A and B are shown apart, each in its own frame.
Chain A
Amino acid sequence: MTLDGRIPAGPIAQKWDRHKFEMKLVNPANKRKYTIIVAGTGLAGASAAASLGELGYHVLNFCIQDSPRRAHSIAAQGGINAAKNYQNDGDSVYRLFYDTIKGGDYRSREANVYRLAQLSVNIIDQCVAQGVPFAREYGGLLDNRSFGGAQVSRTFYARGQTGQQLLLGAYQSLMRQVNLGNVHEFARREMLDLVLVDGKARGIVCRNLMTGAIERYAGDAVILATGGYGTVYYLSTNAVNSNVTAAWRAHKRGAFFANPCFTQIHPTCIPVTGDHQSKLTLMSESLRNDGRVWVPKQKGDKRPPQQIPDEERDYYLERKYPSFGNLVPRDVASRNAKQVCDDERGVGESGLAVYLDFRDAIQRLGVETIREKYGNLFHMYKKITDEDAYKVPMRIYPAIHYTMGGLWVDYNLMSNLPGLHVLGEANFSDHGANRLGASALMQGLADGYFVIPYTIGDYLANTTQPKVTTDHDAFRQSADAVQKNIDTLLSIKGKRSIREIHRELGRIMWDYVGMSRNEAGLRTALAEIPRLRDEFWHNVSVPGTPDNLNQSLEYAGRVADYLEFAELLALDALHRRESCGGHFREESQTPDGEALRDDEHYSYVAAWEFAGVGTKPELHKEPLHFEEAHPTQRSYK
């Protein structure tokens, strides 16, 4: 089946405006009669719930944390892009659009990305009005910085806590709607199923994490903004509770999952110290502006870094990419770090790290300048590693950071299931095969503040459906299935800990479906994952009872879903026999080892339809057309 993204007609710059006019409106007096369920309170979920509440809809909003303010958007450091051109340096909506399409390696939809660039300017205005304390110049105007290799300064920031400040802005707007009675907030609830009535999304089933009660909620439409699936790799920069469960259960109800193999690896994270490690900490990419990346030329050279003279160091990024040097894009920097470590030239105890050295920058600029620019990062590094990066080089290694794939959505951000809308990192829409720095925050807020308030109205105005209550059979069946799954998990009483199995899954994914993938490795993963899933369902230990706070049970459910989802990720990676963005297939590279796209065969979105656990899913293709930004091969030499 060929999927239709339902992209409006007309020139790219007019599509959204025209579409806004053509969409139907819901009468203001009728809005309160509609109930909209929003799962998730990150940038996308909180902004959507708040905006829909402002419009007068009746909104039910859910999160797994104890407060909506804690969603993992809060951890974003760097900033948010917007085509304001406040710096008069040649930025424009068109340039942001073009950079995002190119950065995504021509695997995203032009119309969506153009709309994202258009809306970026409104986001900044809205956030400023909320009181987000963006950095300012001495004259009182907003400051910008260049980020992630962009040639213009279009990134707005609030120190190293931009995600936190944007999320608190959205959270505060959300709490205002709670106070006004438009939004009902349900914290410590985990969505465990999507309920369909007559093929339309009409509600969800949740577990109340405090009491263990299985709760049902009905509405007229459902919005998922439940984030990405980075923790399928066990170790990632995601929060430890981030998971794919809500999206995966929607997938099992029929929602297509698109491009799951598009995962992003961030090159500058603090390396792993041992099996106890529960997550990885990101160090801002800005460090590569002044730090020089190197490893010893000799294999297995265990001398302390200061004793290795310059001529015995390999500054491999500067050597291989003379014009971009240490500033090559994330995927290129990450892959090269893996290559030198595979070559047994990695540093540190594990050999899985490379040096990021500030010696020369300190000599050139003085220690004070470096402290001013990166003091907080050096402090964080010291806290975690107990090493002083002013004196010895930092050790860094790549880690999973963001997932571009997600549930398939059309231009209106609606999945193939009528009524199910998907926002933010949970959908696949805007970043193609690789996301640019400072673009995740932009997409989450564009989806929530400025897209869904229009498109969901169009859906509701065009849909006639009977009111349903949670007594409907579909809800009962769903709640029974959820309960049965929980009872099964608790009854296994095996010998292995959930964490142990998750760790093992992570190792399979990292080794065979990580930074660099090949057919043999992917086939190994596809054999190992079902074996581990089987082991889980026969030998996992999930202690405790279902009727109270049981974090083991929560975790077991998430890992169980990952053991199914991982197979889809590997399968998607196997089917895409080209390299693009974060997906590097060793079979598809240029003679000098760079990623080689295959536009002739793979210029499409791969959307997978669930066919049963262990059964091969059905592939649906949405062809991609490029009328504005014509595909070129990326080169950073």
Chain B
Amino acid sequence: MRLNLKIWRQAGPTAAGRLVDYTADNVSPDMSFLEMLDVVNEGLVKRGEDAIAFDSDCREGICGMCSLVVNGIAHGPDRGTTVCQLHMRRFKDGDTITVEPWRARAFPVVKDLVIDRSAFDRIVAAGGYVSCNVGGAPDGNAIPIAKDVVETAMDSAACIGCGACVAACKNASAHLFMSAKISHLSLLPQGKIERHSRVIAMINQADAEGFGSCSNEGECEAVCPKEIPISNIARMTREYMRALWAPIG
């Protein structure tokens, strides 16, 4: 296959960016999308040109590092798939493909397609945990947890923190990301103790980082590579209301 690429190039955080045209030749349908970019980069490097910067690491859909908007869709056209697991057989010869970074005020561009997602770390640091030091944990079976409860918690805990939800949202809201963590922890007995302080601290931090609010469009759910449902956001809102009305904690 031969493909026409329009790729966002931006030299640094404060530089102006633009879409630059490239051609990818001899693209095999077995390539992943990132492998196609590797081949384009190999050509650039051999000519001594600056390679297109993009993030990736595990390349099996679990680390959450890859972060490309392909033809306007975060992680590209396949549902429930990170862009590292998107394969070129999804495209056809002669296609034009536009590749851009996540765009949100809270995720500034570092270079080309690479963005700074440290805001997510700061949201977790604000309260996305159970406060338990190593050493004092009771036996793992001391607190039984119903199977369906743990399965629901696991559905939320599956979030990979990639930030596609933010990229897809017109408000650049981090609600799906936050609500996944809040749901995971508040569903489990271990996490219930700090449920009030957690939800308030995390939401306050997200506001401070410049993420927007939720207006229930569901764009986040549509692009989430782990298909985390927006029912998590409803649960987070309930947790938040409960926390505001709570007498203590």
Binding site for B on A (CB under 8 A): 47, 50-51, 54, 65-72, 74-75, 84, 86, 122, 124-131, 133-142, 158-159, 161, 164-165, 168, 171-173, 175-176, 178-179, 185, 187, 210, 239-241, 273-274, 276-279, 281-282, 383-386, 449-450, 453, 493, 495-500, 541-544, 548-552
- Report which of A69, A74, A168 forms a contact with B157, defined as CB distance below 8 A: A168
Q: Hey, which chain A residues are within 8 Å of B65, CB to CB? A: 65-66, 70
Q: Which residues of A contact B81 (CB under 8 A)?
A: 383
Query: In the complex, what distance in Å separates the CA atom of A178 from the CA atom of B120?
Result: 13
In contact, A129 and B190 (Cβ under 8 angstroms): yes
Determine which residue in B114, B118, B137, B184 has the highest number of CB atoms from chain A within 10 A of its CB, and name it: B137
Report the bound CA distance from A138 to B191 in whole Å: 21
Give 13 A-B pairs besides A500-B42, A542-B45 with Cβ atoms closer than 8 angstroms: A47-B134, A130-B132, A131-B153, A133-B153, A134-B140, A140-B144, A176-B125, A239-B63, A273-B28, A281-B60, A386-B29, A544-B50, A549-B110
Closest to A175 in B: B125
Q: B150 to A453, Cβ gap below 8 A?
A: no
Q: Is the CB of B48 within 8 A of A541?
A: yes
B185 within 8 A of A: yes
**Does B56 have its Cβ within 8 Å of any Cβ on chain A?**
yes
Taking the closest CB of chain A, its distance from the CB of B152, in whole angstroms, is 9
Whole-angstrom distance from the CB of A365 to the nearest CB of chain B? 23
Are the C-beta atoms of A493 and B191 separated by less than 8 Å?
no
Let me know if A142 and B53 touch, CB within 8 A.
Answer: no
Contact A129 B132 (CB under 8 A): yes
Contact between chains at B121 and A67 (CB < 8 Å): yes
Docked-complex contact A136 and B145, CB < 8 angstroms: yes
Q: Is B227 an interface residue (CB 8 A)?
A: no
Determine the chain A residues whose CB is within 8 A of the CB of B161 once the complex forms: 67, 69
- Interface stretch of the complex, out of B31-39, B164-172, B212-220: B31-39
Report how far A140 CA is from B57 CA in the complex, Å.
Answer: 36
Beta-carbon contact of A551 and B53 below 8 Å: yes
Q: Residues of B contacting A383 with CB < 8 Å?
A: 81, 85, 87
Q: Is B12 an interface residue (CB 8 A)?
A: yes
Write out the residue numbers on chain A whose beta carbons fall within 8 Å of the beta carbon of B56: 240
Chain B residues with CB under 8 Å of A187's CB are: 118, 121
Residues of B within 8 A of A (CB): 11-12, 28-32, 34-36, 38-39, 42, 44-46, 48-51, 53, 55-60, 62-65, 81, 85, 87, 89, 110-111, 114, 116-118, 120-121, 124-134, 136-141, 143-147, 150, 153-154, 157-158, 160-161, 184-185, 188, 190-191
Would B114 and A549 count as touching, CB distance under 8 A? Answer: yes
> Residues of A contacting B138 with CB < 8 Å?
125, 129
Chain A residue numbers with a CB within 8 Å of B114 are 549
Q: With the chains together, A352 CA to B195 CA distance in Å?
A: 53
Question: Would B124 and A172 count as touching, CB distance under 8 A?
Answer: yes
Query: Given A74-B62, A383-B85, A543-B44 in contact, is the A141-B141 Cβ separation under 8 Å?
Result: yes
Do B38 and A276 touch (CB < 8 A)? yes
Contact of A543 among B48, B110, B124, B131 (CB under 8 A): B48
Whether B157 lies near A274 (C-beta < 8 A) is no
Q: In the complex, which of the residues A71, A125, A385 contacts B139, with contact meaning CB atoms closer than 8 Å?
A: A125
B28 CB to closest chain A CB, in angstroms?
A: 6
Chain B contacts of A129 at CB under 8 A? 130, 132, 136-138, 190
**C-alpha gap A175/B201 in the complex (Å):** 14
A142 CB contact (under 8 Å) in B49, B140, B185: B140
CB-based contact A274/B140 at 8 Å: no
In the complex the two chains form, what is the Cα distance from A80 to B63 in whole Å? 19
In the complex, the answer to whether B51 meets A552 with C-beta atoms within 8 Å is yes
Residues of chain B lying within 8 A (CB to CB) of residue A84: 140
Contact of A278 with B38 in the complex, beta carbons under 8 Å: yes
- Chain B residues closer than 8 Å to A239, beta-carbon distance: 57-59, 63
Q: Is the CB of B130 within 8 A of A131?
A: yes
25 residue pairs from A and B, CB less than 8 Å apart = A54-B133, A66-B55, A66-B118, A69-B64, A70-B63, A74-B63, A129-B136, A130-B130, A133-B150, A133-B188, A142-B140, A171-B124, A173-B132, A175-B121, A179-B126, A273-B31, A274-B30, A276-B35, A278-B32, A278-B38, A282-B60, A497-B45, A541-B48, A543-B50, A543-B51
Asked whether B129 lies within 8 Å of A130 as measured between CB atoms, the reply is: yes
Partner of B134, one of A67, A450, A498: A450
Q: What chain A residues lie within 8 Å of B58 (beta carbons)?
A: 70, 72, 74-75, 239-240
Q: How far is the CA of A383 from the CA of B137 in the complex (A)?
A: 41
Chain B residue, CB-CB nearest to A542: B45
Closest residue on chain B to residue A177 by CB atoms:
B125
Cβ contact within 8 Å between A65 and B57: yes
Q: What's the minimum C-beta distance from B38 to chain A, rounded to whole angstroms?
A: 6
Q: A240 → chain B, closest Cβ, in Å? A: 6
CB-CB under 8 A for A54 and B111, given A133-B157, A187-B121: no
Q: Hey, which chain A residues are within 8 Å of B116, CB to CB?
A: 66, 210
Min CB gap A449→B, angstroms: 5
CB-defined contacts of A164 to chain B, threshold 8 Å: 62, 158, 160
In angstroms, Cα B156 to Cα A258, docked, is 41
From known contacts A126-B134, A453-B134, infer whether A136 and B42 are also in contact, taking CB-CB under 8 Å.
Answer: no
Bound complex: CA of A173 vs CA of B12, how far in Å? 33
Q: Residue B11 contacts which of A138, A282, A548 (CB distance < 8 angstroms)?
A: A548
The 5 A-B pairs at the shortest CB distance, nearest first, are namely A140-B144, A172-B129, A129-B137, A125-B137, A273-B30
Residue from the list A158, A175, A544, A549 in contact with B128, Cβ < 8 A? A175
Which residues of chain A are within 8 angstroms of B121 by Cβ–Cβ distance? 67-69, 175, 178, 185, 187
Q: A133-B184, A159-B154, A240-B56 are in contact. Are A65 and B63 (CB under 8 A)?
A: yes
Shortest C-beta distance, A134 to chain B (Å), equals 7
List the B side residues contacting A176 at CB < 8 Å: 125, 129, 131
> Once bound together, how far apart are the Cα atoms of A386 and B29, in whole Å?
10
For A168, give the chain B residue with the smallest CB separation. B157
Cβ 8 A contact of A276, one of B28, B60, B132, B160: B28
Closest-CB distance, B97 to chain A (whole angstroms): 17
Chain A residue with the shortest CB-CB distance to B114? A549
Q: Which residue of B lies closest to A210 (CB)?
A: B110
Bound-complex Cα distance A248 to B110 (A): 29
Pairwise interchain contact A499-B184, C-beta atoms closer than 8 A: no
Judge whether B147 and A140 touch: CB under 8 Å: yes
Give the docked Cα–Cα distance between A542 and B41 (Å). 12
CA distance A138 to B145 in the complex (A): 9
Q: Report yes or no: A552 in contact with B140, Cβ–Cβ below 8 A.
A: no
Cα–Cα distance between A92 and B50 once the two chains are bound (Å)? 57
Q: Is the CB of B59 within 8 A of A124?
A: no
- When distances are taken between beta carbons in the complex, the residues of chain B under 8 Å from A550 are 50
Least distance between A349 CB and chain B CB atoms (Å): 10
Chain B hits for A139, CB < 8 A: 144
CB-CB under 8 A from B89, the residues of chain A are 386
Q: What residues on A are CB-neighbors of B158 within 8 Å?
A: 159, 161, 164
- B140:A124 contact, CB within 8 angstroms: yes
In the assembly, what is the distance between CA of A168 and CA of B181, in Å? 10
Question: How far in angstroms is the closest Cβ of chain B from A581?
Answer: 26
B11 and A67 contact, CB distance less than 8 A: no
Residues of chain A within 8 A (CB-CB) of B32 are 278
Residues of B within 8 A of A549 (CB): 12, 53, 110-111, 114
Which A residues touch B45, using CB under 8 A?
Answer: 497-499, 541-543, 552
A452 to chain B, nearest CB (A): 11
Does the CB pair A138–B62 fall under 8 Å?
A: no
Q: Which residue of B lies closest to A69 (CB)?
A: B161
Contact partners of A54 in chain B: CB under 8 A = 133-134
Measured between beta carbons, the chain A residues less than 8 angstroms from B157 are 133, 158, 165, 168
With contact pairs A543-B48, A548-B11 given, residues A276 and B111 touching in the complex (Cβ less than 8 Å): no
Nearest CB on A from B136, distance (A): 8
- CB neighbours of B11 from chain A (8 A): 548
